[in-house]
Amino acid sequence: MSSIVDVDEVVPTSPNAAAPSPQSTRSTQRGEECVVDFSFSPPTGASVVDDDGDDGDAVSNGVHGREATSLSDKQAQVKSKQQRVANKFFQGDPELVFDPRVLGTLADDAEQQSNGGSEHHRESQFALPETTRHPTVLQFSDVTYEVDVTKGEHKGVKQILKGLNGEVKPGQVLAIMGASGAGKTTLLNMLAGRLSAAGHGRSGGSILVNGQKRNFNTFRQISAYVLQQDCFFPTLTVRETITLSAMLRLPVHMSREAKLAQVDGVIAELGLTKCADTYVGNELIRGVSGGEKKRLNVGTELVTNPSLLFLDEPTTGLDSFNAQNVMQTLLTLAKSNRTIIATIHQPRSSIFQMFDLLMLLSEGCSMYFGPAADAVGYFGSIGYECPEEFNPADYFLDLISLDQRSPRAQRTTQKRIDYIGDRFLAYQQQHPVVTDVSDILTKQARQSELGGSAGKPPPKYTTSFGRQVALLTQRSIRATLRDKINNFSSLGQTLLFSIILGVIWLNEGDGISSNSVQAIAGALFFVVVNQSFGSIFGILFVFPVERVVVLKERASRSYHVGAYFWAKTVAELPRTFLLNLLFAVITYFMVGLRDGADHFFLFVVIVFCVSLTAEGLALIVSAIADDPQQAGAIAPAFIVTSMLFGGYFIGVNQIPSWLSWLSYLSFLKYGFAAIMINEFDGQPLDPSCAMSNNGTNSTAMDDGGPLCFAAGGDVLNYFNLDELSLGVNIVVLLAMAVGFRLIAYWILRVNGPVYDHSL
Ligand SMILES: Nc1ncnc2c1ncn2[C@@H]1O[C@H](COP(=O)(O)OP(=O)(O)OP(=O)(O)O)[C@@H](O)[C@H]1O
């Protein structure tokens, strides 16, 4: 036998190599010592076949109960064997040699390590309740995902995930790492049952939960997904946000007190007590810190007491201290028998030490799956020894990232990635990661929580529709009342425009005559346009932001989208009404419109209906658009069309017949017609006009002289607004307000998340 160990001879001794007991793994990773030993330690149970054929047991890590405490002599031997392995391999191919220092990615310094060590080893001050759910083991085998690329130079089938395997048990934290575009989010979404079906991708392989294929209704109830983006209502407090999640998603049979106690528990558990009554905030409203927001994000999911928690880059955007705290929280949660899977981007070394399991992905292929503590040893065994001063996470990412800066760099890095992938594939073929879970789960655990056939399927939503409406209305009212910026700007605009309008047309309506008809008609058209604009932009800049929260909440099946619509409409009615009332009072009396309380109140009703209809239109635009900018770009098309066919600039009978149907869609036309009828119908104007027009038609003279109207009816006739009665115009407006909302609701519904549930 050769005296040099070949990389092919690096074999583990245990079939369960990649699935150690969490406790034992942690004992080596998170024991009392802060400094983790990154010296050689091949994948769990792996050993190096030495010269005389024995299996080098002394390098096994503590997973098998043999604590790697006396590392010195044997490890030195092993290290030298590793070096020989690497030398032998790389002698033949210098392109595979990798020196991370060349990339300038120096590891986290020693200070970080020692800080991190002391931070993450400190005991949690919170008493953690065990999850009441049964423990959950998630296994995935040969998972693939491919999409058809129909555009660009890379047309064809794109393989995004290429035969991935893994297993995560209760109490473990699996970190999925890889360069950008490696497939981390795709894998996480697939495991969480949140892979969008909109991409028309094809998935393959198998995903088992407690040894069974998933029933997604049940799976959704035992699992939770924490999105990368922290999207919340900014004017709700941390406690209110978590409470709403609890009230909507916890079982109805739980008492209110029990739910509130659970909220308190989560707040304490996540270290949010100090900021529990602080607004969440956003760019404009001072709120909680980034780290607290991230923990709130976890909290809104955790309150449902899931046994399986998925997190998409929970530390991204946080400073290293807050990232460390969030990870500490996840560890603590895992200890209470939860199964945690997270994608992680560039963790500092102290965070890396917290993972139980590590999956390294590159271009959809598995580069490593196994205990995180063993990764350094494993890579050492295939010739990639992580320098001691390096953060292993940085080292691995450098190692498995494709460098596309030059053809040569691309070729070299691709070769290295292929080699590492091949090595891991060979290793994995000998040592499958998916094990038999029957020993850790009772039959009841498998069936009662996840069995597809056992028992009645759980309802789609935990709470009734009525309860959802009540809870969401309460939230919307709170959010509306506390949105000071929006409220003050709406109030300011209402005062400003009503006063401007009042000053420009001051007392124009007093002693109304034929001469003042044009001016009054202009003022009334301005009224309906102004109220529409105010309502439209009030929605356009708020709703798309809110929609992101709604989509997130719908994805977790918190409520029916119809409940949200009801709640929003009910909550905003009083505000819309009050602003319209204020506007009406100022303009009506400054302009001196028609005398009579009935006309004034009808005026209020009409402007209110116009506002409601405009809001409905804005909801449609917002439901179509992805963000406020897009909504702002689409909205003018609707507004300008409505204005053009609103009846003021051009009469219906003057519009080309093939375009005249558009006037029936213009809500402004109905608003303008109603407000004009209210002002002019039955109003005597200038009797002499009837005489001058021979009593037949008292509208405008054809010779270019001033318009002359004998009575209000002639004004309506002149503007072609006498087609429908006042009541019918108001009813049409109301019908449009409802119809527009229904259309927006429908768009939101069909645009809602649809997931690929084939695995
Ligand atoms: N539906 C799809 N159609 C086409 N390409 C897709 C689709 N979904 C994902 N991809 C591509 O698959 C690759 C993996 O995407 P994924 O979002 O999983 O990567 P990632 O590792 O999470 O990256 P990042 O860290 O940048 O978020 C990317 O190149 C992405 O562009």
Predicted local confidence at residue 211, as pLDDT: 85
- Ligand 1 cavity residues, CB under 6 Å: 147, 149, 158, 160, 178, 180-186, 199, 201
∠ CA 48-50-53, nearest 5°, is: 110
Burial label, 659 (beta-carbon count in 10 A; 0-12, 13-18, 19+): exposed
Residue 535 has pLDDT above 70, yes or no: yes
More confident residue, 213 or 697: 213
- Compute, in angstroms, the gap from residue 316 CA to the centroid of ligand 1: 17
- The secondary structure of the chain in percent helix, strand, coil, rounded to multiples of 5, reads 55, 10, 35
- Compute, in angstroms, the gap from residue 181 CA to the centroid of ligand 1: 5
Residue 251 has pLDDT above 60, yes or no: yes
Predicted local confidence at residue 455, as pLDDT: 54
Substitution site in 186, 312, 315, 365 for ligand 1 pocket (most atoms within 8 Å of beta carbon): 186
**Closest residue CA from atom 16 of ligand 1:** 183
Indicate the domain borders of the chain.
7-101, 469-682+730-750
**Closest residue CA from atom 25 of ligand 1:** 180
User: What's the full length of the chain, in residues?
Assistant: 759
Whether the complex's predicted ipTM surpasses the cut of 0.90: yes
Looking at 279-293, 421-435, 491-505, 669-683, which range is the least confident one?
A: 421-435
Task: Please choose, from the candidates 727, 716, 734, 735, the residue with its C-alpha nearest in 3D space to the C-alpha of residue 602.
Answer: 727
- Compute, in angstroms, the gap from residue 352 CA to the centroid of ligand 1: 23
- Compute, in angstroms, the gap from residue 752 CA to the centroid of ligand 1: 20
**What's the pLDDT band for 727 if we cut at 50, 70, 90?**
very high
What is the position in ligand 1's atom list of the atom closest to the CA of 178?
A: 21
Rounded distance, CA 759 to CA 584, Å?
59
- Compute, in angstroms, the gap from residue 543 CA to the centroid of ligand 1: 28
| 499: alpha, beta or left? (left if phi > 0; alpha if psi -120 to 50) | alpha
**Closest residue CA from atom 17 of ligand 1:** 185
Report the SS3 class of residue 477: helix
Q: Round the average pLDDT of the chain to a whole number and report it.
A: 78
What is the position in ligand 1's atom list of the atom closest to the CA of 198?
A: 1
Substitution site in 150, 151, 185 for ligand 1 pocket (most atoms within 8 Å of beta carbon): 185
pLDDT digits (tens, 9 = 90+) for 338-355: 899 999 988 888 888 889
The letter for the amino acid at 339 is T
- Compute, in angstroms, the gap from residue 364 CA to the centroid of ligand 1: 9
Q: What percent of the chain has pLDDT over 90?
A: 36
Integer-rounded Cα Rg, in Å, for the chain is 34
Report the SS3 class of residue 442: coil
User: Residue 279 corresponds to which tokens in the numbers above?
Assistant: 């607004």
- Compute, in angstroms, the gap from residue 183 CA to the centroid of ligand 1: 5
Predicted local confidence at residue 22, as pLDDT: 31
Residue 541 has pLDDT above 70, yes or no: yes
Rounded distance, CA 183 to CA 253, Å?
40
The answer to whether residues 448 and 222 touch, using CB atoms and an 8 Å cutoff, is no
What is the position in ligand 1's atom list of the atom closest to the CA of 200?
A: 1
Rounded distance, CA 331 to CA 124, Å?
10
Predicted local confidence at residue 107, as pLDDT: 32
Predicted local confidence at residue 60, as pLDDT: 33
Substitution site in 160, 180, 754 for ligand 1 pocket (most atoms within 8 Å of beta carbon): 160
The answer to whether residues 174 and 112 touch, using CB atoms and an 8 Å cutoff, is no
Rounded distance, CA 564 to CA 389, Å?
53
Rounded distance, CA 63 to CA 25, Å?
6
- Compute, in angstroms, the gap from residue 363 CA to the centroid of ligand 1: 10
